[in-house]
Amino acid sequence: MADAFFGTDLFSDLERLQQQMTGLFGGFPSSIRAGRFGAFPPINVGATDESIEIVAFAPGIKQENLEVSIDRGLLTISGERHAVWQADMPEARRYAQERFVGSFRRVIELPEGADPDKVQAKYANGCLSVSVGRREASKPRAITVN
């Protein structure tokens, strides 16, 4: 019956699309502690020769509800986001509730050379940026060939 309307098998098309998407995102090996894809907050990780840069896209969180800690090479970003609407508003009707509400925790495994004493964290425009310095010994250096 569905074929009469759609001509082709819609679900196999969707499945193919989903596989393509997974292939697109599957390029990076993911950590065993990474959690499911789509967890809050989304995190980007990058590296330079000097540092490891982590950005968590966590808008609308008060600074006192946001916690960053480093323990044995694990960077943990945790906190809580409160709902913006009040349940006791008179005659209020809620049409959409897509934004994340509740407590969250994300863990990032830092590479071997990360220095837990050189960490800077900044929260601006709803983005938490954490910069972790590298130990001198782990910085890349050019090796002269004799």
Residue numbers of the site for another protein (CB under 8 A)?
11, 14-15, 17-18, 21, 28, 30, 37-38, 41-51, 53, 55, 57-61, 83-85, 87, 89-100, 123, 125-127, 129
**Burial category of 91 from C-beta neighbours within 10 Å (exposed 0-12, middle 13-18, buried 19 and up):** exposed
Q: Two tokens at 126?
A: 């709803």
Nearer to another protein, 78 or 123 (CB): 123
Cα 63 off chain centre by: 18
Smallest gap, in angstroms, from Cβ of residue 21 to another protein? 6
Closer to another protein by CB, 70 or 127: give it.
127
CA distance 110 to 42: 17
Shortest separation between residue 25's beta carbon and another protein, angstroms: 9
Q: Which is nearer to another protein, 47 or 68 (CB)?
A: 47
d(Cα 59, Cα 101) in Å, to the nearest integer?
Answer: 11
Shortest distance (Å) from residue 123 CB to another protein = 8
Distance CA 134, CA 72 (A): 15
